[in-house]
Structure 1
Amino acid sequence: MKIEKISDNQIKFTLSKSDLTERDLKIEDLTKTNEKTTALFREIMEQALKEYDFHSDNTPLMVEAVPAAMDGIMIIVTKLQDSKDNKEENKFNIMKQTKELNRFKRKSIMSFEPEIKADDSNIIIYSFENLDDVTNVCDRISKRFKGISSLFKYNDRYFMLFQNDISKGNSSDLNDIEIIISEYGEKHISTAISKYFLMEHGEKLVENKAVQLLSASFV
């Protein structure tokens, strides 16, 4: 876990995939109050105090969690100087309120509406080293997969997003095709958050019909 002091009132933490795994956390866990998120918040505040003498001073805190990379998360903790200005905002507790944590406010990581609240079980994301592997996968699953598929390029790897198109009555067994996909690629955290991260930061190569188009070009 990396920590960086932005200012006297703001500090940033970056957690990698291994950091999340070590703490048995998933990105979606950060959207709710539970023992894991409570422990995480205590940990980052203790580290902030130890390394930068950053403490809340009984000041309300805003905790923002946003994707930092495909499999990581960035947490920004900000001291709110004038809590009166924020009384009308919705408060999202990342954990149970305790004396040592004081009061804080949180901008929900699930801020994309309305698609971001879709069922994550309908999404799988894999990355591949080259286009040949992508094309091979598309050819092998083309007859089984009837949903939405998009191809992105990010950090010199090719990312495929597979999603059931429930609105059109198309439903594929993602577990079934995943057996094939895993022969060629590496699975990543597959949530709506990851989907929107790719859409924002990745280079979109094929939208919605990647499997159909790439399988048709297979020789």
Structure 2
Amino acid sequence: MKIERLSQDKIRIFLTFDDLLERGIQKEDMWREIPKVNELFSEMMDQAHSELGFEASGPLAVEVFALPAQGMVVIVTRGKLNVHADDSIHEDDESDEDVYEMEVTLEQSDMVMYAFRDFEDVIAVAKQLSQSELTDDGRLFSYNGKYIMAIDPSSIDPSRHNALIALLAEFGEATSVTEAVLEEYGKVIMDEGAVRQLCQYFSY
């Protein structure tokens, strides 16, 4: 479990599938009101408080992004909630100290999205992907001072998804940004065949 602060009232939590399996939680459970998920959320909030000083007070908006093969990203925003009875989760009201009002939304991305701080890392991962014959495809964006590689998993042999993720994770980190956001607010560097183009242009 990895937690980072995005702003004063917003944090991002990255959960690997191993994190979920250790707690007996399936991906589909993340938007169900069950004790194991409530316990996981409490654990996440405790860790956010101890690591970042983030107080989970008042209403919380929770966005859950399911990422193929690498895990889930949970965005928690404090103080922004439009309560809908059908999709909010309430902890036991008798325990006032641990009451969270949450509105949970789930989005599933079919794209594998990884962010890289340095262009050298983008080149390095492209060479590894090509040499390993995992893919020559992909789209490359620039967004918020980072380089984002977007790869369509349908173009990858399913048995090699884990190898693809492991290689990308070695050089970068999973990101919850969507292709729609990248196309609207980011800059397209390579619109197709990014891995192939990077290997051609930077063959040293």
**Does the aligned pair in 1 maintain the 2:140–2:190 contact within 8 Å?**
yes
CA distance in 1, matches of 2:196, 2:92: 53
Structure 2 gap segments, 5+ residues each: 21-26, 50-54, 65-72
Correspondent of 1:65 among 62, 66, 79: 62
Write the mapping of 1:118-197 to structure 2, written as runs, cut at 5 A: 118=110, 123=112, 125-130=114-119, 132-142=120-130, 144-146=133-135, 148-165=137-154, 170-171=156-157, 173-178=160-165, 180-182=167-169, 185-189=171-175, 193-196=176-179
- Taking every aligned residue pair, what percent have the same amino acid on both sides? 16
RMSD: 4.7
Q: How far apart are 1:79 and its partner, in Å?
A: 6.6
**Does the aligned pair in 1 maintain the 2:114–2:168 contact within 8 Å?**
no
CA distance in 1, matches of 2:167, 2:81: 48
Q: How far apart are 1:108 and its partner, in Å?
A: 1.3
195-204 vs 153-162, which moves further: 195-204
SS in 2 for 1:91: helix
CA distance in 2, matches of 1:65, 1:178: 25
**Does the aligned pair in 2 maintain the 1:123–1:164 contact within 8 Å?**
yes
Q: How far apart are 1:109 and its partner, in Å?
A: 3.5
Q: Provide the aligned length of Structure 1 versus Structure 2.
A: 168
Write the mapping of 1:68-147 to structure 2, written as runs, cut at 5 A: 73-77=75-79, 91-94=86-89, 98-100=92-94, 106=103, 108-110=105-107, 116=108, 118=110, 123=112, 125-130=114-119, 132-142=120-130, 144-146=133-135
SS in 1 for 2:121: helix
TM (norm. structure 1) is 0.50
**Does the aligned pair in 2 maintain the 1:13–1:76 contact within 8 Å?**
yes
Correspondent of 2:188 among 201, 204, 208: 204
CA distance in 1, matches of 2:34, 2:185: 30
Structure 1 gap segments, 5+ residues each: 5-11, 56-60, 84-88, 111-115
Match of 1:14 in 2: 10
**Does the aligned pair in 1 maintain the 2:138–2:149 contact within 8 Å?**
yes
Q: 1:175 to 1:160 in 2, by over 3 A?
A: same
Specify the code of the residue in structure 1 equivalent to 2:87.
F
CA distance in 2, matches of 1:198, 1:150: 14
**Does the aligned pair in 2 maintain the 1:127–1:188 contact within 8 Å?**
no
Match of 2:23 in 1: none
Once the two structures are superposed, what CA deviation does each residue of 1:36-56 show, in whole Å capped at 9, x if it has no partner?
653547997xx9xxxx9x76x
Q: 1:186 to 1:202 in 2, by over 3 A?
A: same
Q: Give the number of the structure whose alpha-carbon radius of gyration is greater.
A: 1
**Does the aligned pair in 2 maintain the 1:139–1:216 contact within 8 Å?**
no
CA distance in 1, matches of 2:74, 2:44: 17
